[in-house]
Amino acid sequence: MVSVAEDRDGQRIDNFLVGQLKGVPKSLIYRILRTGQVRINGKRAKPDTRVGAGDEVRIPPVRTATPAEVGTPSRTQLQRIEQAIIFEDRDFLVLDKPSGVASHGGSGIDFGAIELLRAARPGDTLELAHRLDRDTSGALVFARKRAALTALQALIRDGEITKQYLALLCGHPPRAKFEVNAPLRKSILQGGERKVRVSDDGKPALTAFRVIEVYDAASFAEVTLYTGRTHQIRVHSQHVGHPVAGDEKYGTRECNQLLRKSGLRRLFLHAARFEFTLSGKTFSFSAPLATELAAVLDTLPGSRVNAKT
């Protein structure tokens, strides 16, 4: 039995358990949650249940890996993550996360961005404020203080964050500006893979698209998220028939193969801007389009045409 401290008030139980069970794989943490072995004040907890100060959490016995079993990141990994830092102050640290680096470890991934940063900055207290898909590059925000984390996550829950992405969409949408308002439902497939689809019984999701440039086979767009559902941009773009280029899960083989000729080897989705106002101060974090994605735009066939709004 573990009592929840004041500074953990409002934290999700899955993240609380990560802090309590050092060295335990996230897959095991989610397994004990799914099977009802974790209880908060005697009640079964779901992964997104939030703990409160003074709550009593029952944690079942689990085998904790030794430091030798967990391993340590390589020097190259630590240097790469340090070089990707684009902002830091007393409250926040922001990473221009490279594609291929997960936000956190788990599901066969030893070290995500948070684990790498903690290894590179052992004296810091760092927590993920939000997440990006593993293949998505761009601005990823971490909190350096518990108060900053809870304040920012409250803004995220209330929809008071501006999150803008850059994406290459297959084909040409009929309008330069359009919104997709379609609820999304997440499923966990066998093996732990997440799959999301549009469903009437899903959670509300709203995405705004603005086409910036048009090419022969694709459209370069700025995408604004008004909600933060898993794979939201990828599923909404698929839903309207213009999936994100390079998307192996929700895209089309024909489009992906065609754009490989222009050098696209990854998902063309980049978190370009993350902006919010906290205690009267505005924070605006920007990450320039990843160089490998900019190179694809430079080599796309056909004349570049500015889209009309």
Q: How far is CA 147 from CA 6, 56, 86, 165, 264, in A?
A: 11, 21, 22, 27, 41
CA-to-CA distance for 57 and 235, rounded, in angstroms?
36
What whole-number distance in Å separates Cα of residue 221 and Cα of residue 224? 10
E strand map for 73-145: 85-88, 92-97, 127-128, 137-143
Q: Which of 55, 133, 135, 247 does the annotation list as catalytic? A: 133
Strand partners, 209: 178, 223
40-to-2, 110, 143 alpha-carbon distances in Å:
10, 28, 25
Neighbours of 200 (CB within 10 A): 7
Q: How far is CA 13 from the centre of its chain?
A: 18
Q: Is 133 a catalytic residue?
A: yes
The residue among 97, 150, 146 whose CA lies nearest residue 271 is: 97
With both helix axes pointing from N to C terminus, report the angle between 26-34 and 13-20 in degrees, rounded to the nearest 10.
130
CA-atom Rg of the chain in angstroms: 20
- Structure token digits, residue 277: 């106002």
Specify whether the CB–CB gap between 248 and 240 falls below 8 A. Answer: no
Kind of pairing between the strands at 269-278 and 137-143: parallel
Active-site residues: which are they? 133
